[in-house]
Structure 1
Amino acid sequence: MEYQIEILKSSGEKTKFSLEKLRASLNRSGADKELVNQIIDKVRDELYQGISTKEIYNRAFSLLKKKKSFFASKYKLKKAIYELGPTGFPFENFVAAIFNYSGYKTEVGKILQGKCVTHEIDVVAHKNEETTIVECKFHSEEGRNCNVKIPLYIAARFKDVKDFWDSKPHKTKLNSGWVVTNTRFTEDALQYGKCIGLKLLSWDYPKEDALKDIIDRLGLYPITVSTLLTNREKQFLLSRDVVLCRDLIGDSFYLDHLGVSETRKERVLNEIKQLCNS
């Protein structure tokens, strides 16, 4: 039955409902096989022609949350990254944190001189006598992808900075440029990025080493995944540069600043610890 159902994606496109995709996203939450099957059965029974992916997500999220909040937190990862907006600056801090946990030393919002003009670079990362510059392309609305104009623009900026860098003595070599987005790249963008030598990282690219895979593997969940904190509380924490769940474990005094009760504070920290250890 499910293969006859057409669903509406956030981009406005229609596509066939995929049981496998729903199962894969539920499996990533850490829920056991029995619970995943129960949720799939309920969601499948409630499908109708033209149902939106958002409605399917909301139903699965609600069923997971009833069972265990940290399952729901992991399941809402993609939505949580959108919630880092709208300015994109928390996303830059989030990307910097990913590089930090991969052994880099990072600087956010650094001005670098190019051969022709100066450039504000989102993240500059240093490791093993090499320097990498990273541009972050954040979209706060679902359904928007990074087209070929983005890597074209970034490649030009990288070349300008590298031309100047190579003309002066530096302690490190500037060897690579990255484009990181919370959405997806179009096929043209991927093709151009590969051709020009830019490293591309998106929600689902490269396969098995995409943004979602790195976050799960390193346990680097943004604070916005919490199902127990309110939006106001999340924005307060983001404004204090508490971007990762694991940051809050070390800086839990911010919950006192917010007036969170001891009982609720314990629940929030327990949810976050489960996430980081999962």
Structure 2
Amino acid sequence: MEKQVYIKKNNDKMELFSFEKLKHSLVSTGACKEAVETIVNSIQPDIYDGISSNEIYKKAFALLKKYNKISASRYSLKRALFDLGPTGYAFERLVGALLKEKGYKTRVSVILNGKCVTHEIDVLAEKGKNSYAIECKFHAKAKTTSNVKVPLYINSRFLDIQEQWNTNSNHQTHLKQGWLVTNTRFTKDAINYAKCVGLTLLSWDYPKNNGLKANIDTLALYPVTTLTTLKKKEKHQLIENDVILVKELINASEKMKNIGLSDLRIHRVLDEVKKLCYNNPTP
């Protein structure tokens, strides 16, 4: 019988640990049932009251990596998003790429005039006759959430831009809506306010079954920070060279050479890229 223990979450709150939840997160990576059972059984004796969720993740990741490196890459997605920092530019590029895959025309870091002041918009997206102003809030720590003050501020900026945009006859589209995207979570008040004013929210797990994780897995738009065949320094060197997505490495052999990767290492990286992005399990 599984013992009941309370673990410390990233927000410092204590929560009853669920072995079923751990199993589900491992299965969603494409790992086989046998490997999942072995990993869970190996971890179970090490779980104790007060252990951090991060410690459990590290144990599970290390074991999963031995069984299936591609599954380990998928399992590391949440941490990989934090590793995109310290600036928010790489995260903005990722959000822009997600929207592009969904049929939007996108531009990153766009300066727009408002009725009152000028604003820098992280991502401007266009689809059909409508445009959307998207603000990206990147956080380096999991415990940082976006409270109601954030959508309040973002919505006021959007309304300023919208009034100017939609009265300008030179614009071919209608600025329809503001969006707010974060790699962590929104508070309940933030979600309620956004629903009330018509601001679209996207976070790690919101909306349910259609958050960042679900979209990245479905579209296989993984950041380079998920890869197990690259060292941390190499990942950041690639980001500095504007290679943000794993898929972009297919045509980036020269950039990998420039940061010191041998032909053999490049071959191994590209092998992981192909398996991760083109043999992607449905979550």
What is aligned with 1:107? 107
Residue 20 (structure 1) shift: 2.3
What is aligned with 2:39? 39
Q: TM-score, normalised by structure 2?
A: 0.96
Residue 22 (structure 1) shift: 0.8
**Cα distance in 1, alignment partners of residues 165 and 71 from structure 2:** 46
Contiguous gaps of at least 5 residues in structure 2 = none
2:180 aligned with 1:179: yes
What is aligned with 1:268? 269
What is aligned with 1:237? 238
2:250 aligned with 1:249: yes
Secondary structure of residue in 2 paired with 1:246:
helix
Residue 102 (structure 1) shift: 1.1
Structure 1 residues 30-69: aligned runs within 5 Å: 30-69=30-69
What is aligned with 1:123? 123
Residue 202 (structure 1) shift: 0.3
Contiguous gaps of at least 5 residues in structure 1 = none
**Cα distance in 1, alignment partners of residues 245 and 77 from structure 2:** 12
What is aligned with 1:92? 92
**Cα distance in 2, alignment partners of residues 101 and 3 from structure 1:** 44
Partner AA of 1:107 in structure 2: R
Secondary structure of residue in 1 paired with 2:106:
strand
Post-superposition CA distance 1:222-250 (Å, at most 9, x none):
00001111111111111111110000112
Residue 63 (structure 1) shift: 0.4
Q: Is the 8 A contact 1:180 1:200 kept in 2?
A: yes
What is aligned with 2:216? 215
What is aligned with 1:194? 195
Secondary structure of residue in 1 paired with 2:102:
coil
**Cα distance in 1, alignment partners of residues 174 and 3 from structure 2:** 52
2:165 aligned with 1:159: no
Structure 1 residues 60-79: aligned runs within 5 Å: 60-79=60-79
What is aligned with 2:14? 14
What is aligned with 1:25? 25
Post-superposition CA distance 1:145-185 (Å, at most 9, x none):
11111110011001000011122112001111110000011
**Cα distance in 1, alignment partners of residues 185 and 250 from structure 2:** 31
**Cα distance in 1, alignment partners of residues 168 and 72 from structure 2:** 51
**Cα distance in 2, alignment partners of residues 104 and 252 from structure 1:** 28
Secondary structure of residue in 1 paired with 2:146:
coil
Q: Quote the RMSD (CA, aligned, Å).
A: 1.0
Which of 14-23 and 180-189 deviates more?
14-23
**Cα distance in 2, alignment partners of residues 175 and 117 from structure 1:** 19
Residue 27 (structure 1) shift: 1.4
What is aligned with 2:140? 140
**Cα distance in 2, alignment partners of residues 244 and 2 from structure 1:** 39
Q: Is the 8 A contact 1:108 1:123 kept in 2?
A: yes
Partner AA of 2:55 in structure 1: E
Q: Report how many aligned residue pairs link the two structures.
A: 278
Residue 3 (structure 1) shift: 5.6
Residue 120 (structure 1) shift: 0.4
**Cα distance in 1, alignment partners of residues 153 and 21 from structure 2:** 33
Q: TM-score, normalised by structure 1?
A: 0.98
Partner AA of 2:204 in structure 1: W
